[in-house]
Amino acid sequence: MSGEVDLALNAQFDPETVRALQRRSDIQVVVGDGANIGAGTIFCNYDGKAKHRTEVGKGAFIGSNSALVAPVKVGDNAYVGSGSVITDDVPAGALALGRGRQVNKMDWAAGKVGRKAAAKKPIKAAPKKKPRTKR
């Protein structure tokens, strides 16, 4: 493979992933032994001007659907919560959460049903204007 992609001894990728990595010579990611990269994780290494490196330490856990924005290092045995966008280094053994807090809007669905029903009511046409007669 060209570029800088270092995989741990027991790393496993399906054949399509390996082919995709082979086509990309600009990926700069180092993943340590025993690290877990969750499904849908994105390594964002280009800032519009230059490519940057991402490092994931030994035994680190990257939750699904996370984005690691390079340059960034996730330390050994560190955790990244699912859905996080990580822009700063994560120290060894730390938990990083980089996403907005969930907000539940109670009874929102009931109001939406009411709005949909109101939208389906036929709109009464404006009364037709009488044609003007020529004088």
Averages of pLDDT over each 10 residues, the chain, 135 residues: 54 53 60 90 88 93 95 96 96 94 87 66 67 68
Joined tokens for residue 119: 């939208």
Domain 4-99 has CATH 2.160.10.10: yes
116, HSE (Cβ side, Cα atoms, 13 Å): 6
| Per-residue model confidence (pLDDT) at position 46 | 85
| pTM for this entry | 0.62
Q: Under 8 Å CB-to-CB from 43, ≥6 apart: which residues?
A: 27, 29, 54, 68, 70
Tell me which residue has tokens 């996080």: 84
| Per-residue model confidence (pLDDT) at position 2 | 45
